Amino acid sequence: MLNFDQNKRFWERRNVRVPMICWEISGDNKPVGRGIEVINKDLSANGISFESRSIYPIDTVILTEIHLPGSKKPIRTKLKVARIETVMGKEAYLIGAAFHEISPEDRNFIASSLEKLNLYSILDQALKLGASDLHLTVGRSPIVRKDGRIQTLKMDTLEEGQIKAMIYPLLSNTQIANFEKNKELDFAFSPSLSSRFRTNMHLQKGFLEATLRSIPPTTKSFKDLALPVEAMERFCKEKSGLILVAGPTGSGKTTTMASMIDFINKTQERVVITIEDPVEYVHVSQKGVIKQRELGSDTLSYAEALKRSLHQDPDVVVVGELLDSECVLSSIRAAETGHLVISTVHAPDTTQAIERLVNLFPPEHAASICQQIASCLIGILFQRLLPGRMGGRVLATELLIVSTAVRNMIREGKFIQMPLSIQTGREYGMYTLESRLKELYEMGLLDFEIMQEFVKKGSSSRI
């Protein structure tokens, strides 16, 4: 346990949220009535601030119980009110209070607990390692994923209540209510000017846990991402139609889509509306106008936001992901009515990306959906990240350009013939994943075993 100098008047204040109950005290120094649960805003070994519907005059002494994660019993002590502020937009007050008559043991325990509740220290370690993902799970030390492999940080085991104490302060009251109702929540936040994380909160065996994905601080160019530059620029200059970025989870689809938004923003005078869950890359309008809408806070669904976006004078509509038939239909209608629509879909290759969209509809609607997709689809970029020969990961891609022949195949539902059209479509700029893998191997970027493994996977996925 940390041994702080009790004459020291400064202790680090941390923005954490822990259960806390307050009582008023009678003249004979006893608690009055039932305790009131309050929402604390920050905590230090010197004092605390909390939100309350009741107002406490300056110098009022109140009794409190603070339930810190890992403690078998709450810290029961007194607070002396030092500051009162009104909370904008609420019938509530922000009360700042110093600990009054607290024991040295309890003060030290608070200080040592706050060291364990330092989310930013955990994030800093993950960033220094170059990790893509951070997992916070009860009963384990924080776990990161780097270059596709997981490793455990040399930190204390996370206990029940710690994750909630660290994550809840990042959320609005509306987000907290949504999570407690739906048991799931996605959001993004920026702990500093140079870092941003997409966060998924969920329950596992009744415990709150979180997965945080690091979002690069800047948007990279097509060349920096090893994307087919000419084809990507051509896609971004299209006036209308549907462009898809396909791939498995964690293959960089969002990063590719962000690079497309960035290219349009820097080079074209167009209005771009994005619909995301959550907003990951933050774009600042340059030559174009960028409007970023987030599910939950700005709109209730992809499909509804897509419908409404057509009344917002867009040139380009970017949809985070095509998840259901209603969203697909809305995207097709936007593309058919003179807008460029860019979105992502989970699929193991370009051909199956189209099949996934068609399979979202009942079989009796398949023929009409194929007709609509054929009429508006411009192209599909499939991508996945593979272990690099020199460490890190390498992007491998496949490109489908919708030629007349491909359009006819989509219209007739002859998806099995499309891989051959990609192989023979070099004149249109098309290429297969297998050919790109061989190029990456010849460039010394992939080991032979990795190249062979994914050539076989790519071939089997088309059978």
CATH of the domain at 49: 2.40.10.220
- What is the reported pLDDT for 458? 61
Q: Has residue 277 got a pLDDT over 70?
A: yes
Q: Has residue 201 got a pLDDT over 60?
A: yes
* Structure token digits, residue 134: 């951070």
Angle at 3 between CA 142 and CA 158, to 5 degrees: 15
Residues 300 and 414 in one domain: yes
- Are the beta carbons of 370 and 357 closer than 8 angstroms? no
What distance in Å separates the CA atoms of residue 89 and residue 165, rounded to the nearest whole number? 24
Residue 224 lies in a domain: no
3-state SS, one letter per residue, for 207-249: EEEEEEEEECCCCCCCCCCCCCHHHHHHHHHCCCEEEEEEECC
- Are the beta carbons of 279 and 414 closer than 8 angstroms? no
- Are the beta carbons of 126 and 119 closer than 8 angstroms? no
What distance in Å separates the CA atoms of residue 17 and residue 12, rounded to the nearest whole number? 15
- Are the beta carbons of 75 and 58 closer than 8 angstroms? no
| For residues 243-256, average pLDDT | 95
- For residue 436, which phi and psi values (nearest 5 degrees)? -70, -35
What distance in Å separates the CA atoms of residue 371 and residue 276, rounded to the nearest whole number? 27
Residue 241's pLDDT band, with cuts at 50, 70 and 90, is: very high
Residue 340 lies in a domain: yes
CATH of the domain at 263: 3.40.50.300
Write the CB contacts of 327 (distance below 8 Å, at least 6 apart in sequence): 301, 302, 303, 306, 319
Residue 2 lies in a domain: no
Q: Which of 114, 132, 157 is the last residue of a domain?
A: 114
Domain that includes residue 283, residue range: 229-460
- What is the reported pLDDT for 6? 41
Residues 140 and 171 in one domain: yes
CATH of the domain at 158: 3.30.450.90
Residues 404 and 308 in one domain: yes
Q: Has residue 216 got a pLDDT over 80?
A: yes
Residue 361 lies in a domain: yes
* Structure token digits, residue 110: 């608070």
Residues 187 and 285 in one domain: no
Residues 300 and 425 in one domain: yes
Residues 139 and 263 in one domain: no
Residues 206 and 233 in one domain: no
Write the CB contacts of 219 (distance below 8 Å, at least 6 apart in sequence): 258, 259, 261, 262, 281, 283
Q: Has residue 448 got a pLDDT over 60?
A: yes
Q: Has residue 285 got a pLDDT over 60?
A: yes
Residues 274 and 384 in one domain: yes
- What is the reported pLDDT for 462? 56
Share the mean pLDDT of the chain: 92
Q: Which own/partner pairs from 126-135 qualify as long-range (CB within 8 Å, at least 24 positions apart)?
A: 126/153, 126/212, 126/214, 127/195, 127/214, 131/214, 132/213, 132/214, 132/250, 133/211, 133/212, 133/213, 133/214, 133/250, 134/197, 134/211, 134/212, 134/213, 134/214, 135/209, 135/210, 135/211
Percent of the chain with pLDDT over 90: 79
Largest CA distance in the chain: 91
Q: Has residue 65 got a pLDDT over 80?
A: yes
Residue 185 lies in a domain: yes
- Are the beta carbons of 188 and 170 closer than 8 angstroms? no
Residues 110 and 124 in one domain: no
- What is the reported pLDDT for 253? 97
What distance in Å separates the CA atoms of residue 216 and residue 132, rounded to the nearest whole number? 9
Around Cβ 29, how many Cβ atoms within 10 Å?
A: 9
- Are the beta carbons of 114 and 14 closer than 8 angstroms? yes
Residues 329 and 186 in one domain: no
- Are the beta carbons of 160 and 207 closer than 8 angstroms? yes
Residues 170 and 304 in one domain: no
- What is the reported pLDDT for 8? 41
Residue 13 lies in a domain: no
- What is the reported pLDDT for 10? 46
Q: Has residue 56 got a pLDDT over 90?
A: no
Q: Has residue 460 got a pLDDT over 60?
A: no
Q: Which of 86, 114, 142 is the last residue of a domain?
A: 114
| For residues 337-341, average pLDDT | 96
Residue 60 lies in a domain: yes
DSSP string, 265-306: HHH---EEEEEESS--S----SSSEEEEEEBTTTBS-HHHHH
For the segment 118-163, what is each residue's pLDDT rounded down to a tens digit?
Answer: 999 999 999 999 999 999 999 999 999 998 899 999 999 999 999 9
* Structure token digits, residue 439: 């190029």
| For residues 73-91, average pLDDT | 89
Residue 5's pLDDT band, with cuts at 50, 70 and 90, is: very low
More confident residue, 260 or 458: 260
Residue 336 lies in a domain: yes
Q: Which of 114, 140, 160 is the last residue of a domain?
A: 114
- What is the reported pLDDT for 2? 35
For the segment 293-338, what is each residue's pLDDT rounded down to a tens digit?
Answer: 998 889 988 889 998 999 999 999 999 999 999 999 999 999 999 9
More confident residue, 431 or 13: 431
| For residues 273-287, average pLDDT | 95
Which residues, in sequence order, are bridge partners of residue 317? Answer: 273, 341
- How many separate domains does the chain show? 3
- What is the reported pLDDT for 4? 36
DSSP 8-state assignment for residue 429: T
- What is the reported pLDDT for 29? 79
Write the single-letter amino acid at 36: I
Residues 133 and 171 in one domain: yes
Which residues, in sequence order, are bridge partners of residue 136? Answer: 210
For the segment 11-40, what is each residue's pLDDT rounded down to a tens digit?
Answer: 578 899 999 999 988 877 788 888 888 888
Q: Has residue 463 got a pLDDT over 60?
A: no
Q: Is 345 helix (H, G, I), strand (E, B) or coil?
A: strand
- What is the reported pLDDT for 7? 40
